[in-house]
Each structure stands twice: as C-alpha cells, then as structure tokens.
Amino acid sequence: MEEFFASLYEWFGPNPFYSKDMAELMRGWDITCTGYIGTPWYVIIGWSMVAITIASYVLQYHIIDSSKFNKKHHWWIVAAIVVLFNFLNAFLIMNNTIQAGDYCTQDNIGISDCIGLGLSNAIWSFILFILLTSFKYPRNLGINCSHTTFWKP
C-alpha cells in the first residue's frame, strides 16, 4: 500500500507540490537518516483520506439522505468539507511532525511542504469523492440523494 499511496501523492512522477525531502519523510525516512524504518506517513495519511471521504459520502447519501439535502449546492458543500478536512488532516499531521523535529535533520523541510502535501491530499480526496458519488451502486441505496452527483446534480 505504501507504493500505491506514494505514487498517488507524488503524482506518478516528480511531485509538483512539495520537496523531495518531504517525499523521503513520507516514505518513512527515519530520524537518524539511516533508512526507511520510520513512520510510513503515506499510508497513514492515505488511509485517513479514504476514511474521511467515505464517511462523508455515507453521511450525505445514507445517513442524512434528506429531501431537503439533495440539491446541487449541498453536494458542493459536502465536497468542500471533504476537501477542507483532508487538507487540514495532512497539513496538521506533518506540521506537528516537523515542529516536533521528528525527521532527519539533513532534510530541508518547511511549512510550504506541509501546505503542498495538504493541497495534494485535498485534490485526491475531491477526486475520490467525485468517483464515489458517480457510481450508481451503492449511491442508489439512498432514497433522496441518489440522483445528486457531480455530473448530474
């Protein structure tokens, strides 16, 4: 799973949002600068992004599922909340790690790297939310919001 999330967050090539040192930290480069035996942040942040996005989907389409909450602007409100929560999740986790000094001191990592990771996480969560709400099944298990999608609000 680490390679899967790493390829996503690194955008299948050189990452446009954060530095190579941040990518090394995300892969688990340890504090002693000796190997990839540290915390695998890609996996942690990737799975939390998936969980937050799926929970938001379930909340909108299967728990709330109200006739008052099935308009186009409601989909965009939930999508904005998903994007915001996932941005903050990635940004705060990595910013706290950097502030605590839990990374190789030879790496040049700053706040802009945390913002870039948060932005990358937000974009992927938006893409995942679009995909989740685009497929008919299990969206059609909901009654009122089953026709509210990105493509056909």
> pLDDT (tens digit, 9 = 90+) per residue, 51-95?
999 999 999 888 888 777 778 888 899 999 999 999 999 999 999
Domain hosting 76: range is 2-139
Orientation angle between helical segments 72-100 and 20-27, nearest 10 degrees: 90
* Arithmetic mean of pLDDT, 130-152: 79
Cα-to-chain-centroid distance, residue 47: 8
Q: Tell me the C-alpha distance between 87 and 125, whole Å.
A: 9
Query: Could you tell me if residue 12 is left (phi over 0), alpha (psi between -120 and 50 degrees) or otherwise beta?
Result: left
What's the pLDDT at 152?
67
pTM of the model: 0.90
Supply the DSSP symbol for 3. Answer: H
Within a domain: 112: yes
Q: What is the pLDDT of residue 45?
A: 97
What does each C-alpha distance from 57 to 36, 82, 89, 98, 133 come to in angstroms? 34, 9, 17, 31, 7
Residue 153 pLDDT: 52
Q: What angle do CA 136, 153, 130 make, to 5 degrees?
A: 55
In a domain, residue 152? The reply is no
The total number of structural domains in the chain stands at 1
Asked if residue 146 belongs to a domain, the reply is no
- Whether the per-residue pLDDT at 117 is higher than 60: the answer is yes
Q: Is 113 part of any domain?
A: yes
Position 97 in a domain = yes
